[in-house]
Structure 1
Amino acid sequence: MKCPYCGNSDTRVIDSRPADDNSSIRRRRCCDECGKRFTTYEKIETIPLIVIKKDNNREQYARAKIESGILSACYKRPVPADAIKAAVDEVELQIFNREEKEIPSSQIGEIVMERLKTLDPVAYVRFASVYRQFKDVNTFMEELKMFLE
């Protein structure tokens, strides 16, 4: 592993343990050249997942997009960062548990909305308004009625 401080390629592992999510390994490393310490995370390499967009274009799955969507929905809401990370982890786990090589973006959106329902109702409505592209107040009210039932 290359040292992020001096670029030396000779570093050694000081400590290894499971990361918080139990799906990766956290390694503490020390550079033999400069003596500085840093942390790396080792994760299982998965088969690349392809997302089928609404216009039938295909692109590689990106966790950052789900994270960004959930963060935007929770903007200025009393939702802790740990809860947001946990929500992203749960959504990702559901997506990969399907064991499919391709997944429509609409299914991902539905999974995110289901998770946001339990996380924060306002975040759910915010996400739904963008995801479902509400055209007017009536569509917005219909979604709210479905949520309240």
Structure 2
Amino acid sequence: MKCPFCSADDTKVIDSRPADDNSAIRRRRQCEVCGKRFTTYEKVETIPLIVIKKDNNREPYNRQKIEAGIVRSCHKRPISADQIRRLVDEIETEIFNREEREISVNVIGEIVMNKLKNFDPVAYVRFASVYREFKDVNTFMDELKKILDHNEEHSDESV
């Protein structure tokens, strides 16, 4: 690391610790030539992710869009902002673990629905009704039946 004061290449790390929310490392460094100290931050470089929309347009990934959709789905549900933040973190981790440069909005929607299904069934149905663009009550009822069947299967397993 080059010293910002004298431009010498010879610097040493004298202290390292996590910064902010553990998303970076804060390092205190000292120049071996001039003796001055300075701080650097080391952060993981993420691949810019492009989302392919339903109309095949492309736009940069935006966490706020996922968060907004989940907030709307959880409206008047007993779910805290912190729980929503953690859920979005899980979704985002799954998206970025795919290590793809482009991802379809359909794939993102399915990931969100899979997470919501176990998180809050009401929020799941609300999200699914918008995402899947339910055309009528029968489509909506079919989705509800799937959830009820799924819940019955899991309640039988615990007996």
1:72 and 2:75 aligned: no
1:125 matched residue in structure 2 = 125
CA contact (8 A) 2:25 2:42 kept: yes
Shift of 1:17: 3.0
- Higher gyration radius (CA): 2
Distance 1:122 1:43 in 2: 38
Identify unmatched segments of 5+ residues in structure 1.
Answer: 1-14, 28-40
Identify unmatched segments of 5+ residues in structure 2.
Answer: 1-15, 27-40, 150-159
Distance 1:125 1:26 in 2: 40
Distance 1:63 1:132 in 2: 20
What is the percent sequence identity of the aligned residues?
A: 68
Alignment of 1:80-119 (within 5 A): 80-119=80-119
Q: Which segments of structure 1 move beyond 4 Å, counting only runs of 4 or more?
A: none
SS for the counterpart of 2:56 is coil
Alignment of 1:1-149 (within 5 A): 17=18, 19-20=20-21, 22=22, 24-25=23-24, 43-149=43-149
Deviations 1:37-94 (A, max 9, x none): xxxx985331110111111111110011011111111111001222111100000000
CA 71–43 in structure 1, closer or farther in 2 if over 3 Å, else same = farther
| Count of residues paired in the alignment | 120
Distance 2:85 2:111 in 1: 15
TM-score by length of 1: 0.73
Deviations 1:80-110 (A, max 9, x none): 2221111000000000000001110000000
CA 138–43 in structure 1, closer or farther in 2 if over 3 Å, else same = farther
Distance 1:111 1:19 in 2: 28
TM-score by length of 2: 0.69
Distance 1:42 1:64 in 2: 25
Compute the RMSD of aligned alpha carbons.
Answer: 2.1
